[in-house]
A and B are shown apart, each in its own frame.
Chain A
Amino acid sequence: MTAYTSRPAGSRLADMLATHAQLLSIAGFFLIMVVIFSVMSPVFLTTGNLLNVLRQAAPILIVAVAMTFVITTGGIDLSVGSTVALINALAAILIQFGIPWQAVVPALLLIGSAVGAAQGWFIAYQGIQPFIVTLAGLSALRGIALLMTEGFSVPIPGGIGFVQIGRGWFAGVPAPAWIAVVAAVAGFLALTGMRFGRYVTAIGANQEAARRAGIPTRRILLSVYVLTGLASAVAGIVIAARLGSGSSNAAVGLELDVIAAVVLGGTSLMGGRGSILGTILGALTIAVIGNGLILAHVSPFFTQIVAGAIILLAVWLNARVFSRLAAGTRRRT
């Protein structure tokens, strides 16, 4: 006997269910939410409201796609909400300054990426905990926005093409939703099918192993934070264009919604396992909960409590019930 002993293969169906248990559970949870809210409010399932949900969800979704890459490496980016506020305020200030919006948009995307690169440098090349670096970013970046606006909301003139980024419609769908779709498709292809996504997963699973395999781990780590910076810039532009103003108070707490969406979708906070499809469903679930509670005339003071409870319930179901049902044989979670 000179061959390795191999165990008998289990049922393929059970294995497939186990692999996708998290995705199936968040999909199921999303559908349950949709059913509940459509019963509670006749307006919920109308096309107009659903498109509204999509438009509301777009900034969260755009940032969550990038955040999925960060969390898959085993990192976290707490600074996204503040980066959105910074870009949001800068957009209004620069346009009011008289700079053409066609030049402002690429400049903002560049600034967002640079903010991400700066944080990524501390994380990847200086070995500082992502939590600490981006916590500092969370504080400092919104501080810069406050300093620039002095706390006031800066209006953006409505006549220019810029506001179309947030308010326009193409083929019956709001422009922000289109941007989110592009981000989600690009993220899905990159994470599942391209070398970059494979390396991001490998770093999250075992960073030293990835380095020993010749993967440029530092460069990849830095670039995922560039991605969240870029995505935050896009979200900041979309929000500024939709609201027609820039404010340092934009997107307060966005980082929590984004992280909740990613975790709801089954991406592991420990790294090594990420799902863009799950993130999309997670972001939509959060948007649906927010929208549905308003339509159901739940007191706005209650909505935060209910949303928090629902998210905890979903993650708990995901971790304890669905995955165990689907995968009696799974070894590691």
Chain B
Amino acid sequence: MSAERQGAASAAPDPRISMRGIVKRFGSVEALRGVDLDLHAGECLGLVGDNAAGKSTLTKILSGAYVPDGGEIRVNGRRVDFRNPADARVHRIEMVYQDLSLCDTIDVAGNLFLGREPMRGAFLDRRAMRDGARAMLDRLEIKIPRLDALVAQLSGGQRQAIAICRAAAFDPEVLIMDEPTSALAVAEVEAVLALINRVKASGVSVVLITHRLQDLFRVCDRIAVMYEGVKVAERRTAETDLQDLVSLIVGEKHVSKAAGAAAGPGGAA
């Protein structure tokens, strides 16, 4: 489990995030059956697994969207209890949700500042929001021509870019991305990968969930594999390859069948 502790910048004694024995049930289904996971400063951890392996559930627990039924989470060595997403935000944990979680009828700047609007007296400070939004987008080299456009009017790539920007802009310590590239065209995927490398370089810990296995090798330092609600393996990116990952994801039995097929397109979303 914690055999591989020499991540990129793990001079600190405690990992930035440490999850132990996380359990989550939905009715009779045990979505997570005791998962341990560490995350160090400035590293990118890839989280892979089949559909319904528990990847999204695990990250939603870390972002406070779900409350776990068992286990504990430590942030920089201190035990925390997230009751809702606002609690996780206080600890600088931000998440890009798979469904993006944008409000279609609110403009770009409003979505970027949703839940932490700058105020002037009792009123929203629109100028500060617009200027701040422009600066946030520029910093991540995201091009949105009009900040007063409603999010509903934007392309899928722009929407995903806004969701990523919102999570990355408020100096997070941990940035979780649940399939951030699923709806993107080739050029936009490249931009997101570049963005992950940029925020990583600034010391942010990134958790990346994706079905595009080839992307993992370009941004991740470590890869954790989940299967049916447990973490079955953890590999350092330098010490694994596509073939190895595929066999870990589908389980040993199906290796010969699936390896050839999944090496091509990388699996469906």
A-side interface residues toward B, CB under 8 Å?
A: 1-7, 9, 15, 19, 189, 193-195, 198, 201-202, 204-206, 208-215, 272-273, 331-332
Contacts and interface: CB of A to CB of B under 8 A. Distances in A.
B115 A213 contact: yes
A87 B8 CA distance: 68
B187 A212 contact: no
Given A193-B123, A194-B123, A211-B84, A4 B157 contact: yes
A205 B123 contact: no
Nearest 8 A-B pairs (CB), nearest first?
Answer: A213-B115, A214-B86, A205-B103, A209-B101, A272-B105, A214-B115, A213-B114, A205-B105
B80 interface: no
Nearest to A16: B148
B103 A201 contact: yes
B106 A202 contact: yes
B interface secondary structure, majority? loop
B144 A205 contact: no
17 contacts: A2-B190, A3-B141, A3-B143, A4-B157, A4-B158, A6-B143, A7-B145, A193-B123, A194-B122, A198-B106, A198-B124, A205-B104, A205-B105, A210-B114, A212-B63, A212-B97, A214-B84
A332 B152 contact: yes
B221 interface: no
Contacts, number: 100
Given A209-B102, A331-B153, A215 B143 contact: no
Given A198-B110, A210-B114, A4 B142 contact: yes
A214 B188 contact: no
B116 interface: yes
Contact of A2 (B103, B104, B122, B141): B141
Contacts of A3: 141-143, 191
A213 B84 CA distance: 10
B85 interface: yes
Given A195-B117, A214-B116, A215-B114, A5 B105 contact: no
Contacts of B143: 3-6
Contacts of B161: 4
**Residue among B85, B86, B153, B155 with the highest chain A CB neighbour number at 10 A:** B153
Using C-beta atoms within 8 Å of the partner chain, give the interface range for chain B: 35 or more
A198 B141 contact: no
Contacts of A205: 103-106
A190 to B, nearest CB: 9
Contact of A206 (B101, B116, B123, B144): B101
A19 B150 CA distance: 9
Given A198-B106, A204-B105, 14 more contacts: A2-B194, A4-B187, A194-B122, A201-B105, A205-B104, A205-B105, A209-B100, A209-B103, A210-B103, A213-B114, A214-B89, A215-B114, A272-B105, A332-B104
Contacts of B84: 211, 214
Contacts of A208: 101
Nearest to B100: A209
A5 B141 contact: no
A202 B102 CA distance: 9
B157 A5 contact: yes
B201 interface: no
B127 interface: no
A2 B188 CA distance: 8
Given A193-B124, A214-B89, A202 B104 contact: no
A7 B146 CA distance: 11
B54 to A, nearest CB: 19
B182 to A, nearest CB: 16
Contact of B187 (A1, A198, A332): A1
B65 interface: yes
B119 interface: yes
Nearest to A6: B143
A68 B142 CA distance: 35
A38 B152 CA distance: 41
B187 A7 contact: no
